[in-house]
Amino acid sequence: MDIAIIVEGKNDRSRLRRVLQPDVPVYCTYGTPGSSQLETLRKQVGDRQPYLFMDNDSSGRRIRGLLRDLFPDAEHMYTRRGYPGVESTPEDYLIEQLEKAGLEAYIIYPEPSSVPFSKEDFD
């Protein structure tokens, strides 16, 4: 796997897991990371291309700043301001952000709903 996604917490990771292939590594900072946690993340990510997906709040911005220093070439993904965080972001918006980041190959798209239509629906 040539990418790694970093999120704040396990609920964020769990939410992303619903729309990502199972072999995509998703790592957590578990809040604002200290120096040992940053070093652990650096080792976990290794040579993979990192993607940062933090909440759009003051804590998320602080964590993003720390990770930007650690991974200067990281790609950044964002939640919309109206969503409380990655864990509360609707799946369709998560997919949209993953697509914007060019990660279509790693997305598990939901099955289209199979609502039966009759000929009369189109008359």
Nearest-angstrom CA–CA distance, 123 and 110? 29
Can you give the pLDDT at residue 121?
52
Read off the pTM: 0.88
Can you give the pLDDT at residue 35?
94
Dump pLDDT digits (tens) for 34-58.
999 999 999 999 999 999 999 988 9
Helix (H, G, I), strand (E, B) or coil at 16: helix
Which stretches of the chain score pLDDT less than 70? Answer: 1, 113-123
Can you give the pLDDT at residue 82?
85
Can you give the pLDDT at residue 114?
57
* Contact yes or no for 35/21 (Cβ under 8 A): no
